[in-house]
Chain A
């Protein structure tokens, strides 16, 4: 049996997080009644002209910088011509020979756990199409279809990788890292299930020991990274079976069917459009000068790789915990805010991944919806760290903060959770207990260490549990050994 090597390249479309569309001032927000977020410009009425939204350039360049790309000082727009009723002008304004970004990369881990750079060929800006609502299941079997142009001309970036990945695992890792970087940059919502991040896969197989790439197949309709992973696994098997039987692979576009877990042919290369690209004469070139470039660079946040490094190497958070934190930007931002208050990375990470995560899980909430205030939560953890409250009380206070939104101090006062750590206040109590319990004292001094626990218990009982056990222990030991 021949073994095959897989080659994978990915193409992503990310909706940019701008308030308005790419060439007009219509809102980009989704969910309006059909054809309410439209104007003559995004409807492509006769005579209208596009005017480029500067925020689109900024977000596209920012994404490029975050993905280690060269950002072009001079780029321009082109028209991609094809007839389809979701496209108001029957051409899409996009960038072809001179995209805004080129030659980037993302670092992932390969099967051996080694760092691997997956190159990014280009990032370009373009407009989205509208949406067709079919009376049947597709355009061809519908008696009518209704176009909704609310989404038409919402800004997109297309990110095209080089064919540098060789497994479903690598493709998924690349996609997840890309998504995370875009999320940190705040350039896109990157929700695959809602379509604000879309992924197409290009995949080919070749026999081991050969260099020439096999015929590539494009897979579309992938709504999650799980789908990307499963579609690649399926396609690897399908193509390997065909090659084993001596059947040629056809260059084509296939659709992933989530239900059946299969890909099926959508169109072959012969049906491919001739897009007749040419420079968009209605727009002027995009020129990024030094000042604008610096302004954009200054808006770049700390990226996931750097953040992971800071958490593990500078703050001493464990590798696994740090990974968990960095995967989730709202959690990571809350971590930083809490760390600023408490200055104890281990404690903060334990609480966040422990109690806070549990509270969120129990109420089915995402970290982004966390109802806790970082400063007040930090205050609670500081009290715990100083011994002003004990661990068990702190957990109860946190839960109450989470459910009621009340302040930590108010809860502690109302519930009488304040811990006595003042040794002068506890010295008298310790002395009294020693005086009242001569037998256990004698037992302890005779070597029955268990008696110490009894004396500790008496002290906690006397103080209704508010005594700081560590302080009591220290005072008892001192008194007994004096």
Chain B
């Protein structure tokens, strides 16, 4: 098996068996990036020198019997919204094109401490605002299964890099589906854990009350392995949860007979592609065959999630992105006075979608509109949470839904129509609003040869149940034909 085909699990065993070194594994990935990423454009920056140095350090540890974790020496990528000390962290924005953070995000710190080898920073929608990676200031990423299609977004680079075997796994962020929809589009596993499960410290915020770091990997087992390392309380993030972290990969491939799985009817409508609905039915049949009990359920407030999300997320974004003013770091466009400098800098530094969301959010928080928009949204959010609380209180272990209404769409298909683009998030946004964990597993290829991933939703901090069910459901790894 070529090194770049390997999962974390394969590679950890191979490294242990000294079939190759971490340096060789890293060079193999760097070589593949050099060869293939021209087509994909998953990476914004490749940190080759640091990666090789980190791999050599991993090899030295292994030689001394000081292996730190199953991730030690395994090459990976970070969404370019996660701060890694000394490497550019651009958020795919002109605003931060020159920005180099002086500190590590906690999730990356934990990976680095576990021996992870950072290959580079991957592409995304600007400031994580988008569902196609087309709003990146540095050009779009392409879907490895069809180069004319988008990889999804906003963590499109993270998903495409894993799908195209440019990295063994990657971290993304998910505010309204930004890990799960790209996982679905690119045929990889994507997990968005419970809000608070992974520290947000060092992750540039889009909408703080919804943002969560997620993992993109080739298998559920791999995602579970990474989750165990990055999850857990962080004293730098007050909103991180104190609950103990589990050995999540131990739950993979376990017996799921007797588990109760709900299929919420609000997620299945004509708005969802027929093929996706068919695959969902297939999965239900398969789960029943595995001994699970599958029932129809209802989450009545689902329809309100999307509009409420676009008020809440944009409101928080309008405040989170206020700091980019040209005073302290990043882009500065000089002007005659302070106010003009702010305006010129923000006008030149932000792309259209970012500006649109800042304006929407500013409007929603303005005096006279606050109660009608922001406050109403908080009430909707409570109702959505209650929907899920009710279902899980009835004893359901998880819910099964589509991930998005369609498979990967063509580049440029929705760029002039933001509302259609926003509809991409219809199946994923409610889960962020409720703060719950969700897992997307690759399930099948469509008639067009594009991946279809299914979404499993769990109760708070029950990621292991999702991984148990997901690992039984996930297809044999879907491989793109990159026609090399």
Contacts and interface: CB of A to CB of B under 8 A. Distances in A.
A45 B102 contact: yes
Contacts of A277: 365
Contact of B201 (A43, A47, A284): A47
A45 B101 contact: yes
Contacts of A48: 103, 201-202
Contacts of B322: 81, 83, 89-91
B101 A47 contact: yes
Contact of B101 (A46, A91, A276, A278): A46
Q: Is the interface of B mostly helix, strand, loop or mixed?
A: loop
B238 A49 contact: yes
A278 B315 contact: yes
A51 interface: yes
A49 B374 CA distance: 22
B53 interface: no
B102 A79 contact: no
A136 B204 CA distance: 35
Contacts of B205: 47, 282
B299 to A, nearest CB: 24
A89 B208 CA distance: 14
Interface in B73-124: 82-83, 89, 91, 96, 99, 101-103, 105
Contacts of A46: 83, 89, 91, 96, 99, 101, 204, 323
Of listed B103, B209, B238, B316, residue having the most chain A CB within 10 A? B238
Contacts of A45: 101-103, 329
Given A46-B96, A49-B236, A276-B319, A40 B204 contact: no
B319 A278 contact: yes
Given A52-B238, A88-B323, A89-B323, A276 B365 contact: yes
Interface in A246-279: 274, 276-278
Contacts of B325: 83, 85, 90
B237 A281 contact: no
Interface in B306-346: 315-316, 318-319, 322-323, 325, 327-329, 337-338, 342
Interface string B185-209: 0000000000000001111110111
A283 interface: yes
B233 to A, nearest CB: 12
Nearest to A145: B338
B238 A284 contact: yes
Given A79-B319, A81-B322, A49 B201 contact: yes
Interface in B163-217: 200-205, 207-209
A375 to B, nearest CB: 44
A105 B260 CA distance: 59
Given A274-B367, A276-B319, A139 B338 contact: yes
Q: Is the interface of A mostly helix, strand, loop or mixed?
A: loop
Contacts of B265: none
B239 interface: yes
A112 interface: no
Contacts of A89: 322-323
Nearest to A149: B328
B362 interface: yes
Contacts of B362: 276
A47 B105 contact: yes
Contacts of A274: 366-367
Given A81-B319, A281-B316, A47 B203 contact: yes
Nearest to B99: A46
Nearest to A40: B103
A52 B236 CA distance: 10
Interface in A136-151: 139-140, 145, 147
A163 interface: no
Contact of A83 (B236, B329, B342): B342
A134 to B, nearest CB: 11
Contacts of A140: 337
Contacts of B68: none
A207 interface: no
Given A49-B200, A276-B365, A90 B323 contact: yes
Interface in B345-386: 362, 365-367, 370, 374
B18 interface: no
A47 B209 CA distance: 14
Contacts of B327: 85, 147
Contacts of B316: 278, 281
A278 B313 CA distance: 12
Contacts of B35: none
A329 interface: no
B235 interface: yes
B238 A40 contact: no
A195 interface: no
Nearest to A275: B367
A247 B263 CA distance: 70
Interface string B387-426: 0000000000000000000000000000000000000000
A448 to B, nearest CB: 90
B323 A51 contact: no
A48 B362 CA distance: 22
A282 B320 CA distance: 11
A44 interface: yes
B12 to A, nearest CB: 30
Contacts of B209: 281
Of listed A44, A46, A52, residue having the most chain B CB within 10 A? A46
Contact of B239 (A43, A276, A282): A282
Interface string A88-101: 11110000000000
Interface of B: 82-83, 89, 91, 96, 99, 101-103, 105, 200-205, 207-209, 235-239, 315-316, 318-319, 322-323, 325, 327-329, 337-338, 342, 362, 365-367, 370, 374
6 contacts: A40-B103, A45-B101, A46-B89, A46-B99, A91-B322, A284-B238
